[in-house]
Amino acid sequence: MTLDELPRSPGEWLKGNGPESDIVICSRIRLARNLADFPFISKASRSEKSEIVTQIRESISESNSKLNYFDVERMSELDRQFLVERHLISRELKEGEGPRGVALNDDESASIMVNEEDHLRVQVMRSGFALLQAWEQIDDLDNRLEEHLDIAFSQELGYLSACPTNVGTGIRVGVMLHLPALGQTNHLDKFFRALQKINLSVRGLHGEGTQPYGDFYQISNQQTLGKSEPELIKSLSDVIPQLIEYERKARQTLLTERRQVLHDQVSRAYGVLKTAHTISSEETMLLLSSVRMGINLGLIDDLEIAQVNELFINTQPAHLQKIHGQTLAVDERNVLRASFLRKRLTEMRDGPPSE
């Protein structure tokens, strides 16, 4: 597998085929791990970082987990940005220094960052609301890796991490939600405060007034010590169905009370995407968010969620440039993005052009 083969598929987290995927974009779990006999990253020398990479790469190949390793240090800026856009590496790994990399499986559901904040950051992403499946997959991968590694662990404090906020289980469990209808009410505020009280954190953007914005939110656990992995996963998965329920109700209310306004809003968004001749990635994201809601509410019927997801990822700057095969300035990208959108949206409605 090479990085150039990736843009053909939207990646696991944007497949749009998981449970409740009209609202839950993806479920994600990551584990922080460190090798016992090396200093953490901030105190590791260049040669120690190389040695860490070597040991982890060996354990990956011995673990039989079918992951391909990519050297992020030697990678082009464009490829690094490309991996960030696909949520396979973090900005911190992209902008870090010294020997570091990422191992990916073929369907991009698993990635292992090496020498990020911790020696190992194992991540599994699944489309839709699928935390238990994500946990089974990551637990198995973690078991295979540690068979060949000495992991920093204490009976009292659990897995030892560079930052005390990750010590214990080293787990971060998160779901990414699309809440465009709740975002237009003022209930979201109260709901998120309640989540904060039970140690869950919320991050995201919401619209101003009736103006559609991204409306994507991430909810994740803050606590990592003193509760087992299944308990931490449960605390999150217990509240999600309720949030899904509220969003569905809010969508129905919007439909009955403000159908015309809503229909106008999503049709305009769709119209701009189909006809623009220059468009920024941020405007694209906001309009696609609106179109996504339109599809979920049955106001747009000639496009599917999976197709919108494909447009989300492929209109990001690095993706656009990789598809185009060369680096471009911002203005050129905006023109290319608009023509890509016009072309793809026509193909999606009419099927691919016949030869």
Partner 1 sequence: MKCERCSKPVTHHITDIDKNGDWQEHHLCHDHAQTFLEESNEIDDKPKKDVSELAKAFISQSGKSAVASESATEKRICPLCKMTFQEFRNTGRLGCPNDYVIFREELMPLLENIHDETRHCGKTPHRAPRDTQTQTSLIQLRNDLKKSIAAEDYELAARVRDQIKELESRKSVS
Q: How far is the CB of 284 from partner 1 (least distance, A)?
A: 10
Q: How far is the CB of 216 from partner 1 (least distance, A)?
A: 7
Q: Which of 39, 235, 255, 335 binds partner 1 (CB under 8 A)?
A: 39
- Under DSSP, the state recorded for 109 is S
- Under DSSP, the state recorded for 8 is G
Q: Which is nearer to partner 1, 172 or 251 (CB)?
A: 172
**What are the beta bridge partners of residue 179?**
none
Q: Which residues contact 26 (CB under 8 A, 6 or more apart)?
A: 12, 13, 14, 18, 125, 126, 127, 128, 175, 176
- Under DSSP, the state recorded for 105 is E
Q: Which is nearer to partner 1, 10 or 174 (CB)?
A: 174
Residue 274 interacting with partner 1 (CB under 8 A):
no
**Stretch binding partner 1 (CB under 8 A), from 15-23, 29-37, 96-104, 247-255:** 29-37
Q: Which is nearer to partner 1, 121 or 299 (CB)?
A: 121
Residues numbered 130-189 forming contacts with partner 1, rule: CB under 8 A: 139, 142-143, 146-147, 149-160, 162-169, 171-172, 174, 189
Look-up: residue for tokens 């843009």? 7
Q: Is 113 helix (H, G, I), strand (E, B) or coil?
A: strand
Sign, CA torsion 270/271/277/282: negative
Residue 213 interacting with partner 1 (CB under 8 A):
yes
What span, in angstroms and rounded, lies between the C-alpha atoms of 158 and 181?
41
Cα Rg of the chain (Å, integer)? 21
Q: Hey, what amino acid is at 327? A: T
Q: Which is nearer to partner 1, 165 or 275 (CB)?
A: 165
Residue 82 interacting with partner 1 (CB under 8 A):
no
User: Which helix (H) or strand (E) segment is 245 a member of?
Assistant: helix 229-275
Residues numbered 92-131 forming contacts with partner 1, rule: CB under 8 A: 92, 117, 121, 123
Residues numbered 287-346 forming contacts with partner 1, rule: CB under 8 A: none
Query: Mask: binding to partner 1, 229-268, rule CB under 8 A, as x and -?
Result: x-x-------------------------------------
Q: Which is nearer to partner 1, 224 or 307 (CB)?
A: 224
Nearest by Cα to 247 from 215, 284, 289: 215
Q: Which of 42, 256, 260, 326 binds partner 1 (CB under 8 A)?
A: 42
Nearest by Cα to 109 from 76, 142, 87, 77: 87
Query: Mask: binding to partner 1, 48-67, rule CB under 8 A, as x and -?
Result: x-------------------
